[in-house]
Amino acid sequence: MGKKFLHILTNDSKHINCLLNIFGKAASNSMQCDFIIINRGSKKISKTMISNREVKLIPLKFSLINRIISNYNVVFLHCLDEVKQLLLYNAPDNIEYVWLIWGADFYEFQKKARTSLYEKITVDRIVKRRLHLPDPKGRLGYIFKNLPFLHLIYNKTRRTFFDYFYNKALKRIDYICSFEEEICLIEKLTEVKFKHLKYLFNTLNDYIGDIEIKKIKLGNNIVTGNSATPTNNHLDTFDALKRFDFKEKKIVVPLTYGHHSYKEQIIKDGENIFKKQFKPLTSFLPRSEYNDILLSCNIMIMNHIRQQAIGNIMAGLYFGMKVYLNKKSPVCDMLLNKDIIFYNIQDDLHPENPAALKPLPQESINKNRRIIEAHWSEENVLLLAKNIYDEF
């Protein structure tokens, strides 16, 4: 029996199936490779099947989890959330820990990163009014709604608490797993050196489903953002778009998850600026229906400064959309280094550019598709996962 690998997953249905599929397939028969989810609501260990893989649901008891971890050589931490930060504080030694970055687990927790996530209008209209804070729930929600200053104090205290454990957790990490450009940014901001593991997380099929290229016919609308979270910088995007005259286009804005108070503000502003052309999406849709809505668009604008919405971005590029990104995002560097054709909001999205809202030329679409098929095919992503195992 070779080394023993443990994956501590995050219970997120959007990504967990692909992770189980790829890392499960990549594990050889001679390896022990197990998957667990820390379940706050459980009182005892139980089992479930996800993507034909056995997953154990483990109660949130650190002593129990540490005993489980001590049986393995390598532990993969999928998303370094608050529970895993606390877990690492007293986690067993002589084990190699691998952090697979999801996005929010760095940009929302690392102090230098989270203070530079927002563009100017979002800062003035959202952050200064504290609409960027998560919506409190339960009894705390009722108290904070009536006493908002307590909400601010609570969040600052909570931040200070987790800043301490986050920095401690980073020092326990041996390997960091993401695309190279993001890893370099993380090392720069944290001033911590990690061993690098290259991975792209999802496959092209996970992003687009069973859509056939020959049947793709894009509409004439614009889609911007991927959620009701302030890191989308929606208001700054609206400010750029309102300078254009596009009476025949709709502005599609996915707001199906995130912060309720922020979502209400975006809908209010969007309807005020774009009137009937503004089309917010506020209900969860099956992937096929969501893709149909994406296919009604030929322009995609993702104004995130952090790594976010990669699934939407890759789908948009493969569908043939003209994709605009915030040039501060590490995703720009990744796409540039892969020679994928895209545009940046700051330099290209303005009325003085006569091609700004025109469709992407077919030659560029074909080039992007060839590159994406090469890098995000199931075969290549599976190879990357195998290479990760082979590192140990």
Give yes or no for residue 138 having a pLDDT over 60: no
Rounded CA-CA distance 83/79 in Å is 10
Regarding whether 234 and 167 lie in a shared domain, the answer is no
Share of the chain above pLDDT 90, in %: 73
Name the token pair of 347: 């330099």
**Is the pLDDT assigned to residue 149 strictly greater than 70?**
no
Q: Is residue 314 domain-shared with residue 357, that is, in the same domain?
A: yes
At 176, list the tokens: 């960091």
**For 221-247, how does the pLDDT look when each residue is reduced to its tens digit (9 = 90+)?**
999 999 999 999 999 999 999 999 887
How confident is the model over 189-203, as a mean pLDDT? Answer: 93
Token reading at 53: 């893989």
| 99-103, 147-151, 338-342: the lowest-pLDDT one | 147-151
DSSP 219: -
Residue 113 lies in a domain: no
Same domain, 218 and 326: yes
3-class secondary structure, 272: helix
Pairing outcome for strands 221-224 and 195-198: unpaired
- Mean pLDDT for 305-331 is 96
Edge-to-edge order in the sheet of strand 32-39: 46-50, 53-59, 32-39, 4-9, 74-78, 96-100, 175-178, 195-198
pLDDT in tens, 45-75: 999 998 889 999 999 999 999 999 999 999 9
| C-alpha to C-alpha distance for 226 and 133, rounded to whole angstroms | 18
Same domain, 41 and 152: no
Q: Are 148 and 135 in contact (CB under 8 A)?
A: no
What's the number of domains the chain is made of?
3
Asked if the model's pLDDT at residue 298 lies above 80, the reply is yes
Residues 294 and 274 in one domain: yes
Query: If 0-12 CB within 10 Å is exposed, 13-18 middle and 19+ buried, where does residue 370 land?
Result: exposed
User: Which letter does DSSP use for residue 258 in this model?
Assistant: B
DSSP reduced 3-state for 256? coil
**CATH number of the domain that residue 286 is part of:** 3.40.50.2000
The Cα–Cα gap between 262 and 282 comes to 12
pTM greater than the 0.95 cutoff: no
Same domain, 78 and 123: no
Three-state secondary structure call for residue 165: helix
> Count of residues for the chain?
392
Tokens of 317: 């590029």
With cut-offs at 50, 70 and 90, classify the pLDDT of residue 133. Answer: low
> SS3 for 242?
coil
- Is there a single domain that holds both residue 93 and residue 191? yes
User: In this structure, are 136 and 213 located in the same domain?
Assistant: no
- pLDDT at residue 145 in the model: 58
Residue 302 belongs to domain spanning? 206-375
**Are residues 147 and 91 part of one domain?**
no
